[in-house]
Amino acid sequence: MVEGILSKAFWVVYATVFAAATVVYGQQVPCYFIFGDSTFDSGNNNNLQSKAKVNYSPYGIDFPEGPTGRDFIPPFAGASPKQAHIGMNYASGGGGLRKETSKHLGGRISLRKQIQNHKKAIKKAKVPVQRLEQCLYTINIGSNDYINNYFMSELYNTSSLFDPNEYAYSLNRLYRTHLKRLHSLGARKIALFSISLIGCTPKMIVSHGGGQGCAKDVNAAVAIFNNNLKDLVNDFNKNFKGAEFTYVDIFSAGDPLAFARLGFKVGDKGCCTLSPGEELCVPNKPVCANRSEYLFWDDIHSSEATNKMAAIGSFYGPL
């Protein structure tokens, strides 16, 4: 359920929805800041030594400016200081709440570091706190802490140190610390996105679902995290000055069967060409002709058609 003043919070990747809303409603906030992982990353990883970047074809096939031209809010990497008065995107593919998350992918920017970058940007640009208090902030983080950490036991030991409840609690504590820091920097209107049904991605279906369907243990663990996130939002709204936090539920609305009723026909594999064991598209290789019917673009990320549906639901309310 999306409630309150931020009931029209939306995913940044859905630029078409943002543009349409701006025309119809006018700009509703003076500035917009974005934090998160690959779902929101619009170029911050491009110059990192990292496997977690998609600045190549066929990514961005339907965007006029290519893979990193999908966002009206420019990435922190390379943005001019004055942009901090309008908004910046700090998101990073592979980024997580835990420092070690996705380390096997190489360079990435954790949420802690993203907030540090935000502090540098607003201090350098001398953005008034009164303005920051009116800005919109969106955060989509946590998926990698499961996909590229907890459920990758061959590389990470968190699943042996924590049961699912303990792990979700540990992530919640980290999230709270980071949000307190962001609040102290002036953030008041923050939309926090839940983790989606990542157990239903092609990657997790194969690795943890036996290739037969959604990985139930993965989705169950994520559900615990999401419930804790709801409580965290309520806590901030009750106990922190001026906080107008919103929980954006993209877990409950992500049932593959629901998408099937909306016309999607392929939900167990990505649209682009993949190498065996890899989750990102092979550069410059063919993609499916009917990509509007695919839930997923590669082995882990949803397609543009799916994103548009989710954006409409996030902006206007449940479909």
**Does the active-site annotation cover 85?**
no
DSSP structural state of residue 99: T
The tokens for 180 are: 């307190």
How much of the chain, in percent, has pLDDT values that exceed 70?
88
* Strand partners of residue 35: 139
Residue pointed to by tokens 């966002």: 71
Catalytic-residue membership of 298: yes
| Tokens at 307, concatenated | 């994103």
Mean pLDDT of 41-57: 93
Q: Does residue 255 register a pLDDT over 70?
A: no
User: Strands 32-36 and 87-89, how do they pair?
Assistant: parallel
Q: How many alpha carbons lie under 13 Å from residue 94 in its C-beta half-sphere?
A: 24
DSSP 106: B
On the question of pLDDT at 98 being above 90, the answer is: yes
pLDDT in the model for residue 317:
67
């290739």: which residue's tokens?
211
**Measuring CA to CA, which residue among 128, 34, 119 is closest to residue 72?**
34
> Residue 140 above 90 pLDDT?
yes
Amino acid at position 40, single letter: F
pTM, full prediction: 0.90
pLDDT higher than 90, residue 262: no
In whole angstroms, give the CA distance from residue 148 to residue 308: 26
Burial (Cβ within 10 Å: 0-12, 13-18, ≥19) of residue 130? exposed
Q: Which residue's structure tokens are 């992530």?
A: 171
**Tens digits of residue pLDDT in 206-232:** 999 988 889 999 999 999 999 999 999
Kindly report the average pLDDT of the chain as a whole number.
88
Helix axes 15-25, 304-316, angle to 10 degrees: 30
Residue 27 pLDDT greater than 70, yes or no: no
In single-letter form, the type of residue at position 192 comes to L
- The structure tokens listed for 281 are 């598209």
User: Residue 220, Cβ neighbours under 10 Å: how many?
Assistant: 11
Higher pLDDT, 42 or 182: 182
Query: What totals of helices (H) and strands (E) does the chain contain, helices first?
Result: 10, 7
Mean pLDDT of 247-274: 82
Residue 134 has pLDDT above 90, yes or no: yes
- Give the pLDDT of residue 6: 34
d(CA 273, CA 283): 8
Catalytic residue among 301, 302, 303, 314: 301
Cα separation, 168 vs 170, whole angstroms: 5
pLDDT recorded at residue 126: 97
State the pLDDT at residue 250. Answer: 84
Whole-Å CA distances, 187 to 113, 125, 163: 16, 16, 33
What whole-number distance in Å separates Cα of residue 8 and Cα of residue 205? 32
In this prediction, residue 23 carries a pLDDT of 40
Catalytic residue among 71, 249, 298, 299: 298
Q: Mean pLDDT lowest for which of 114-123, 179-188, 287-296?
A: 287-296
Contact 169, 228 (CB under 8 A): yes
Phi and psi (nearest 5°) for 190? Answer: -125, 125
Q: What is the pLDDT of residues 165-202, one digit of tens each?
A: 999 999 999 999 999 999 999 999 999 999 999 999 99
Pairing label, strands 136-140, 87-89: unpaired
Helix (H, G, I), strand (E, B) or coil at 315: helix
The larger pLDDT score, comparing residue 231 to residue 6, is at 231
How confident is the model over 67-96, as a mean pLDDT? Answer: 89
Query: Which amino acid, residue 264?
Result: F
Contacts of 258 (CB under 8 A, 6+ apart): none
What is the predicted pLDDT for the residue at 25?
A: 52
